[in-house]
Amino acid sequence: MMTRRYGKANVVTGLWVMAFFMLYGFLLIFMRDFAPGKAQWIAEYASGDHFMSRMTHVHGNLFALLNIVFGMVLLKLKVAEGPAKWASWLALGGLLMPLGILSEVYLDMPPVLVMLGGVSIFASTVILAIGVGRAVISE
C-alpha cells in the first residue's frame, strides 16, 4: 500500500533529523559551557546567532517529531492515496524551516527556506486533517 510507504518515509526521516538536531543541541551546550568566548555567547542569549541557533534546535526537533507523528498516522489509518502523498511530502518539505534557519545563521542566506518550510508544514497539517477526517477506520 502506497500510504504505508509515505508514512515510513516520514518516520525514518523524522528520526534521522531528530538525531541530527539532538547533536546540534549538544553543540549549543558546548558553546554555552565550554567554548572560548562563552561569556559573549551567554550575553547574546536572546538575540543574534545564539537566539537563531536555539530556534533551529527547537524547530528541527519539533518538525522531526511532527514527521514521526504524521508518518505513524499514515501507517495506522487508511488515508486515501492523494492526501497521504501530499501530507507526507509537504511534512518532509517542512524540514526546510529549520534548515533555512541554519542557513541564515551559518551562510547568511535570506529566510526563503524558512518561509517555504513553514507554509509546507502548515499545508501538510491541513491536508492530513482532511485525509484523516475522511479515512476509513478499521478495528
Within a domain: 46: yes
pLDDT tens per residue across span 61-108: 999 999 999 999 999 998 999 999 999 999 999 999 999 999 999 999
| Cα(110)–Cα(59) distance, integer angstroms | 17
Within a domain: 54: yes
CATH number at residue 114: 1.20.120
**Length of the chain measured in residues:** 139
Within a domain: 139: no
14: confidence class by pLDDT, cuts 50, 70, 90: very high
What is the span of the domain harbouring residue 87?
2-134
Burial of 107 (0-12, 13-18, 19+ CB in 10 A): exposed
Within a domain: 124: yes
Number of domains observed in the structure of the chain? 1
pLDDT tens per residue across span 111-132: 999 999 999 999 999 999 999 9
